[in-house]
Amino acid sequence: MPENIAAILPELWLAVGQTFLMLGIGLAAALLIGGPLGIWLFLLGPGQPLDNRPVFAVVNWLVNTVRSFPFIILLVALVPVTRVIAGSSIGPVAAAVPLSFAAIPYFARLVEQTLREVPRGVVEAAHAMGASELQIVWHVLLVEARSGLVLALTVLAISFLSYSAVAGVVGGGGIGDLAIRYGYYRFQTDVMVLTVALLVALVQLIQFTGAAIAQRLDKR
């Protein structure tokens, strides 16, 4: 094993843990807030059960506005908010705050688009049987779209793995921070190659796992 890599192994495992911490917090925020937001956005849309064009326009605009910010700019812009929530502007927990802010509208849009792919006839049949809107959402929409939702979450996880690496550049910790400190500033090319290979392996693992789960849930 090259000397440089052997020397940073303890820091490498710490960086991997920090990356998973950032990713876990961001994905949890996306599921708990972005998921319901995406369902609400879908239901408010034209021709949907809660059709309300003014409210839909406002929520749609907010989602698009947050999604339009490049992540590095959002990271800097939210520093005051991050300090209030996390008590600091550096570290993996602090980096998870802007990650969460970015993940919520991102996943909300993916959820909305996935629900739009559910056949309208299935929803109309549930309405004809007297199902309430909540029952339709829980027992029809989410069940019919579950495979697509898993794939949407997979896309989100892969995208935000790269975002977590960006967060590391500005003091968030994780694999990105390790790559910059050792691979870039100290010109240790072997460390840079290792971190890139590790990120590629994590992406492949997330994609394989997500695709396998989605395939098992797909009723078609």
CATH number at residue 179: 1.10.3720.10
**Which region among 89-98, 130-139, 205-214 has the lowest average model confidence (pLDDT)?**
130-139
% pLDDT > 70, the chain: 92
**R_g of the chain, CA atoms, integer Å:** 20
Position 52 scores a pLDDT of: 85
What is the domain extent for residue 113? 3-217
pLDDT of 4 strictly over 80: no
49 falls in which pLDDT band (50, 70, 90)?
confident
The domain total for the chain is 1
Tell me the C-alpha to C-alpha distance, in Å, between residue 29 and each of 26, 35, 97, 99, 169: 5, 9, 9, 9, 22
Measured in degrees and rounded to the nearest 5, phi and psi for residue 52 equal: -150, 95
**Is the pLDDT confidence value at 145 over 80?**
yes
Q: What is the DSSP string of 75-88?
A: HHHTHHHHHHHHS-
10 Å CB burial of residue 34 (0-12, 13-18, 19+) is: buried
Is 173 in contact with 15 (CB distance < 8 Å)?
A: yes
Strands (E), 39-144: none
Residue 64 or residue 7, greater confidence: 64
Instruction: Report DSSP letters for 131-198, one per residue.
Output: --HHHHIIIIIHHHTHHHHHHHHHHHHHHHHHHHHHHIIIII-SHHHHIIIIIISS--HHHHHHHHHH
Average pLDDT (39-49) is 85
- pTM, full prediction: 0.88
User: Roughly how many angstroms between the first and final C-alpha of the chain, as a whole number?
Assistant: 48
Which one-letter DSSP state was computed for residue 1?
-
